């Protein structure tokens, strides 16, 4: 059986997505492997220094390095298009595909595909970011035809601080995001370990949780025809 190899372009300051991706991949050991290339991302804010981190060329450079290996697909494992605009990720995918010939997707594309797949229109947002970034995510969701029923955020700017968020802080904003009775709660950030809390908090809240790290993993396997449902990570990953 051919091994499926997936390349991930990731923020340099991320500590969570790699170990969590490996953990979710255990049912696929021997069949799917994951390989990572980093671009410099240290903070998330609505300012020029933050915007500069997400320009096309650094991402293309990371993708080209991944494509030196015999891989089958590349994903941008980051959520910047959630506030910068979905068209940015479509342009990124086109550019990577043109340079590498590989299948490409992103975390933000995975979000919108998941919402569409399950018919979820009313979204609660649970975010680590500052309030202005959170407001831009809510506006972008509205632009994509979704209704944001409420948002909760921790107000963290530095990505290292996001990675250090406590489980209790993550539980708190999930509860706050649930207050508006959404169809699902979106956890937008791939350096934020809500991933290991999804099953626990879905059981408590009775609302599906769409976690960035989990749905990017699922999307990567789906675009390579390697996906099969897995238990222990919540409703979305238990679905075909």
**pLDDT tens digits, one per residue of 85-139:** 999 999 999 999 999 999 999 999 999 999 999 999 999 999 999 999 999 999 9
Name the average pLDDT for the chain: 95
Q: Which residues have a Cβ under 8 Å from the Cβ of 87 and sit 6 or more positions away?
A: 81
> What is the percentage of the chain residues whose pLDDT exceeds 70?
95
* DSSP alpha helix (H) spans, the chain: 17-24, 48-51, 56-67, 81-84, 86-100, 107-118, 131-143, 159-163, 167-178, 198-205, 212-223
Segment 130-156 mean pLDDT: 96
What per-residue confidence (pLDDT) applies to 47?
A: 59
Residue 168 pLDDT more than 80?
Answer: yes
Residue 56 pLDDT more than 60?
Answer: yes
The pTM score is 0.95
CB 74 within 8 A of CB 213: no
Beta bridge partners of 39: 11
Residue with structure tokens 């991930």? 8
């Amino acid at each position: 059986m051919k091994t499926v190899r997936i390349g991930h372009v990731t923020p340099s300051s991320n500590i969570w997505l790699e170990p969590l991706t490996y953990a979710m991949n255990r049912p696929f050991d021997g069949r799917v492997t994951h390989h990572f290339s980093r671009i410099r991302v240290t903070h998330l804010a609505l300012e020029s220094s933050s915007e500069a981190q997400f320009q096309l060329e650094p991402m293309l450079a990371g993708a080209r390095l991944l494509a030196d290996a015999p891989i089958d697909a590349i994903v941008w494992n980051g959520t910047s298009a959630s506030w910068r605009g979905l068209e940015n990720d479509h342009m990124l995918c086109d550019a990577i595909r043109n340079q590498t010939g590989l299948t490409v997707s992103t975390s933000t594309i995975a979000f919108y595909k998941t919402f569409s797949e399950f018919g979820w229109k009313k979204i609660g947002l649970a975010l680590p970011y500052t309030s202005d970034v959170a407001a831009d995510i809510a506006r972008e969701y509205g632009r994509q035809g979704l209704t944001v029923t409420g948002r909760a955020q921790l107000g963290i700017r530095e990505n290292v601080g996001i990675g250090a968020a406590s489980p209790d802080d993550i539980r708190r904003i999930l509860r706050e995001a649930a207050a508006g009775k959404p169809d699902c709660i979106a956890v937008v950030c791939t350096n934020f370990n809500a991933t290991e809390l999804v099953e626990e908090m879905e059981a408590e809240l009775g609302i599906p949780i769409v976690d960035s790290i989990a749905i990017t993993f699922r999307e990567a396997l789906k675009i390579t025809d390697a996906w099969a449902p897995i238990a222990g990570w919540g409703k979305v990953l238990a679905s075909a």
